[in-house]
Chains A and B, each alone.
Chain A
Amino acid sequence: MTLISIDGVSRRFGEVTALDSVSLEIRQGEFFALLGPSGCGKTTLLRILAGFEQPDDGAVRLDGEDLLKIPAHRRPINLMFQSYALFPHMTVERNIAYGLEREKLPKKEIRERVAEVLETVGLAAQARRKPHQLSGGQRQRVALARAIVKRPRLLLLDEPLSALDKKVRAEMQLELKRLQNEVGITFVVVTHDQEEAMSLADRIAVLQGGKVEQVDAPVELYEQPRTPFVAGFIGANNLFSGKVAENGLDVPGLGVLPAPKGVDGDSALLVVRPEKIRLAEIEPAADEPAAVEAGETAEPEVKEGPAESETKADAEAGDEVKAEEAAEPAADTDAQEVVAKEAEAEEAEAEAEVKEGPVKTDEGAEPKAPKAAADNEAETETEAEVTEDAQEGPVTTDEVAEPETPEATEAAEDGSETPEEAADAKPEVAEAREDVVAEGTPDAQADRGDDLRAAVKSAMTGEVNAEAMAEVVSRAVAGVVAKVVAEVVAEVVADNDAKARAKAEEPSETTPAATPETAPETADETAAEAVLETASETADEAAPESAGENALETAPENAEAPETPSGQEPEAATEESAEPEPESPLRGTVVDVSFYGGTSHIVLRVEGHEGHVLAAAQGSARVEVGTEVAIGWDAADAVLIPA
């Protein structure tokens, strides 16, 4: 529900245009941020909302009512000033009561409400102090209390954290979010600090030069910048401008770089996040390949995506990531063949889904490795034919049965016993993963794969043995199951063909509920429920994730699932599977490596490119300054912004 609608608002100060036809909708109950560099007009907009400034043009409506006609002191809007603007001659209590006294409320009510809000912000003990006797953080709380005690429809916060030191700031960030939740007031925060905006807000409007550049949830802003300014402003980014070519972006001096599809011949800006960049040492005798691309060093031509899996795993699995990284090279080679078949058979949908889990990523990346997969192509085709009849059938089947998304997998497996355990299973799986990684050579895994076949099949047909499944899970992670699954899929498909077809008619859903509906044949009901359970338990992650699975390239879905990294690149994924990407021709030299925030930041110098290329890798990247590396990324991970 729209609370505030700002419609074509302009404001000029002499020669300077502070706001240039700005239109925004702020929804009831959300935490909204106006983000931009200083002088972008954000403060002017805030002051217009508060009533201290009148726009030259445009309209501002609150609940459909013209807000501009109401003087500042009658608006149901309160502002928390950057300087806090506490009244120095009044005690904390009196400061907070001031607004209520203006409403001519009875003394008793004022006292009660002041006491209540003091309790909320945790300043009951300081009620009788004067502002100059308080610390910065406490003053900020007073300012906040003074504003929320009026119970405004909208609370404006002007750079709320800028005057605090770092530690207090982190604390207040949480506090603000908690308060916003608690009081249910719509918050609009103005800030030039993107971290502040990203960590606080549900949606962010990026302003620049008095214009709105993009309004989106933090994740979309980061993953899908729509203007060059946003791409450069939010986080670190590598920018390349060139012309769209058939299979990438033709950048003068650099060649054709991997890029998502665009309109041929148009000039565009290619945006690649440092963490999406893969590096591979060029010298074959490389002794210490960067952790990121251990896989590549072995097989430079194969474009599987450890870097990508890393980022996703990063978001989803946190600490497991490292184990994961190490696992990739081993698992990849093995899984490759299998997955190639699958991928072809399953088409885009499966692909997109594949991208979600770390394990999946390996598999999903396969088709990008045409060489490795080439051997299997013949086989694959036959497989594909089989499955083609029941296209939708197998797809959904896999969704449930395959150990691809970590959550889905665990849920499915454990679910056969007790749905409640689903959540707990995660750490185990993570460990198992590590183990496999540690010992598992491709050969060993292949052997075990045979035993697994039965287990997997039973999982799909519903006769599940819990222990067997636990095994499945652990091996799955290393990619063994992928192979088995692929084969079993073919078998199961034959059995389920008819049923699958019936189910196929059902429209694909965006809710987790889709899973039980579309795949009853393969996973038993309990498993399906387990998926649901996990979904609700980890509502933030799981729900949007499954949304991503089925929704594919629907952008609106993404908007609603801001916190998931999974929904991010479904469309790119589709493209990928459609045609193998050309490799990036970029070669660079490592200029600097630094490690902070748990991430290695690698600065690269690329001949012919202005500025540096930045790469980032989780954990410590053991790469030496001066190393020559090949720089690559998946086209799907890059964003193309038409110029």
Chain B
Amino acid sequence: MRRNGKQGNGWLRLPFWLTYVFLYVPIAVVVLMSFNQNKSPYSWGGFSLRWYGQLLENEKIREGLINTLIVAFGSTVLSTVLGTLLAVGLARYNKSRLVDALSTMPAILPDLVLAIGLLVFYAAVRMTLGLHSVLIAHTVFGMAFVTAVVRARLSHADTSMEEASRDLGATPLTTFMRITLPTLAPGILAGALLAFTLSIDEFVIAFFTAAPTQPTLPIVIYSMVRFGVTPEINALATLLLAVSFTVVIAAQRMTKLSEALS
């Protein structure tokens, strides 16, 4: 493959790299600027961690971060459990394609639609808005992602393993706990990480379903940015980027590992 790329079609490498530049230059700028001594984004005043320091002192941001982490962890746990169960249930007992497709719908739906829908629903059941409402909202779409990932893993998992477990005398519950879950673990973990990263920087749904007194981090950032992008925001973006990156790479590793195992 690599050799083919070098022979003959070398000029195709240009658009390939241009695409990468287009994708990552803006991000690179943000990261770079977060270390800029100068406040102005137009001049480089030398390397500094000053904005990171300011960031930590910013009360609003700290609050937002805490809110976000609560929502992210809570929704991740919920969506992982529910999503896994849904995936297993779909794989084992469902023959309808429609039901299958509906399970991952929230992941594909426009956030806006989901957000409005949830808001209307909360209003209908007279639920107060707060972190809990954001958490539930994030669980809805997080679950869809977990289901999709676990389901994919299940579809090429060997069901004979579970039969083997039953054959060897294990009850269905033991089989699920000792065989099904461990074999699905990498998929479940990948799904959980995905749900977590998505929840951390989710804006639209949180914006609609959060109480004004308890904004999540993206909402805080949004309100700050309205008065101009400060280097503090750059620093925050860089931190978020680092977290997401780590998680994504970790998730990738997990899946690779699991593939090697099966």
Contacts and interface: CB of A to CB of B under 8 A. Distances in A.
Interface stretch (A97-105, A228-236, A471-479, A577-585): A97-105
B167 interface: yes
Contacts of B165: 87, 98
Contact of B169 (A50, A73, A89): A73
A85 B179 CA distance: 11
Interface string B167-182: 1111100100011001
A15 to B, nearest CB: 16
B179 to A, nearest CB: 6
B262 interface: yes
Contacts of B161: 85-87
A73 B183 contact: no
Interface in A79-133: 79, 81-83, 85-89, 98-99, 102-103, 130, 132
Contacts of B183: 87-89
A174 B41 CA distance: 78
A102 B262 contact: no
A102 B158 contact: no
A340 B260 CA distance: 74
A74 interface: yes
B162 to A, nearest CB: 9
B155 to A, nearest CB: 16
B254 to A, nearest CB: 14
Given A85-B158, A88-B183, A88-B261, A72 B167 contact: yes
Contacts of B166: 51-52, 72-73
A72 B169 CA distance: 8
Contact of B160 (A78, A85, A132): A85
A83 B158 contact: yes
A146 interface: yes
A99 B169 contact: yes
A150 interface: yes
Given A88-B183, A102-B174, A73 B167 contact: yes
B164 interface: yes
Nearest to B258: A88
A79 B260 contact: no
Contacts of A52: 163, 166-167
A78 B261 contact: no
Contacts of B178: 98
B164 A132 contact: no
Nearest to A89: B182
Q: Which of A82, A102, A150 has the most CB of B within 10 A?
A: A102
A89 B262 CA distance: 9
A477 B167 CA distance: 58
The interface residues of chain B, by DSSP majority, are classed as: helix
B160 A74 contact: no
A99 B168 CA distance: 5
Nearest to B262: A88
Nearest to B260: A132
Interface residues of B, number: 21
A421 B168 CA distance: 52
A402 to B, nearest CB: 57
Given A81-B163, A81-B164, A87 B171 contact: no
Most-contacted residue by chain A among B160, B169, B178, B182 (CB, 10 A): B169
A136 to B, nearest CB: 15
Contact of B167 (A79, A82, A89, A132): A79
Nearest to A52: B163
B187 to A, nearest CB: 13
Interface in B179-238: 179, 182-183, 185
Contacts of A79: 163-164, 167
B183 to A, nearest CB: 7
Nearest to B179: A87
Nearest to B157: A88
Contacts of B179: 87
Chain A interface residue number, banded? 20 to 34
B175 to A, nearest CB: 8
A113 to B, nearest CB: 13
Nearest to A82: B160
B259 to A, nearest CB: 11
Contacts of B182: 87, 89
Interface string B38-57: 00000000000000000000
A102 B178 CA distance: 11
A100 to B, nearest CB: 9
A103 B158 contact: no
Contacts of A51: 166-167
Contacts of B160: 81-83, 85
Interface in A150-198: 150
A102 B171 CA distance: 9
B223 to A, nearest CB: 47
Contacts of B164: 79, 81, 85-87, 146
A78 B262 contact: no
Nearest to A90: B182
Interface centre among B160, B170, B174 (most CB of A within 10 A): B160
A182 B30 CA distance: 73
Contacts of A72: 163, 166-167
Interface in B121-178: 158, 160-161, 163-171, 174, 178
Contacts of A85: 158, 160-161, 163-164
B170 A73 contact: yes
B200 to A, nearest CB: 30
Interface string A447-460: 00000000000000
A98 B168 contact: yes
Contacts of A78: 167-168
Interface in A406-433: none
Contacts of A103: 169
Contacts of A87: 161, 164-165, 179, 182-183
B169 A150 contact: yes
B26 to A, nearest CB: 42
A130 B161 CA distance: 15
A50 B168 contact: no
A125 to B, nearest CB: 22
Nearest to B181: A89
A132 B261 contact: yes
Contacts of A50: 163, 167
A547 B170 CA distance: 49
A48 to B, nearest CB: 13
A200 to B, nearest CB: 21
Contacts of B169: 73-74, 99, 102-103, 150
Nearest to A96: B168
A86 B262 CA distance: 10
Contacts of A73: 166-171
Nearest to A130: B261
A98 B177 CA distance: 13
Nearest to A102: B169
Nearest to B175: A73
A72 B162 CA distance: 12
Contacts of B163: 50, 52, 72, 79, 81, 85
Contacts of B260: 132
A84 to B, nearest CB: 8
Contacts of B185: 89
A102 B168 contact: yes
A102 B170 contact: yes
Given A78-B168, A102-B174, 7 more contacts: A51-B167, A77-B167, A79-B163, A85-B158, A98-B168, A99-B168, A103-B169
9 nearest interchain CB pairs?
A99-B168, A102-B169, A85-B164, A85-B160, A89-B182, A81-B160, A72-B166, A73-B166, A85-B161
21 contacts: A51-B166, A52-B166, A72-B163, A73-B170, A77-B167, A78-B167, A78-B168, A79-B163, A82-B160, A85-B160, A85-B163, A85-B164, A87-B164, A87-B179, A87-B183, A88-B261, A88-B262, A89-B185, A102-B174, A130-B261, A150-B168
Interface of A: 50-52, 72-74, 77-79, 81-83, 85-89, 98-99, 102-103, 130, 132, 146, 150
